Amino acid sequence: MNWTEKQEAVARAVAEFPGEFGLRGFPGERFRVSPSASYWSDYENRPLIYTERFVGGEWRDFAKGSAEKLRDELVSLRHEGGKKVSKRRIGPDTIIYVASAWWQDSDPSMGVVATTERRAESKIRALIEDAAREARDDGSFKTIASAMDEIAWSGVHAEKLGTIASGREMEEAIRDLEEDGYWYPPSY
């Protein structure tokens, strides 16, 4: 990657975050991304995002980390009446994480799209375990573990949301991803 491509990657990562947001563990506090302090880390081979915290009437440096870790901690800000002030913006060009699973010798029958790699993996593992439990309960397998041995999965892959969904599915995906951080595509 050349310098320009790295700067563009940082700008794309920064653009994924709303103007102001909350973070888990800091209820009622305001944060924002600092585009000028965020940079490309050659060591980690990805953008590092700097956040600022609103303290004493001014924005102060707070922390740095990967966009994925920040997305995991992001929460919406709310007015006293519960009306949302801001939330993560999701669109067709947003990088999301996709995982699918299937019974051996079968087409994919389970899938999840999530805002973080970790969330995608935990959700697909939960789907696999649920399918294995159902197979044990209906007598197809003696144990959940033996049923799980017959289920394959794709791993987690980064994609743009627009390559996964369109039309009404896109609307549903955006709503679920913004509200919950994951979406189960209907095509599985």
Residue 137 has pLDDT above 60, yes or no: yes
pLDDT at 88: 61
pLDDT for the residue numbered 148: 93
CA distance 118 to 69: 9
| Interatomic CA distance for residues 36 and 78, integer angstroms | 26
What's the CA gap between 173 and 161, in Å, rounded?
8
Count other Cβ atoms within 10 Å, centred on residue 89. Answer: 13
Q: How high is the pLDDT of residue 118?
A: 86
pTM of the prediction? Answer: 0.56
What confidence tens digit (pLDDT) does each residue in 66-81 have? 988 888 787 765 543 4
Q: Tell me if residue 37 falls in helix, strand or coil.
A: coil
Which residues touch 175 (CB under 8 Å, ≥6 apart)?
Answer: none
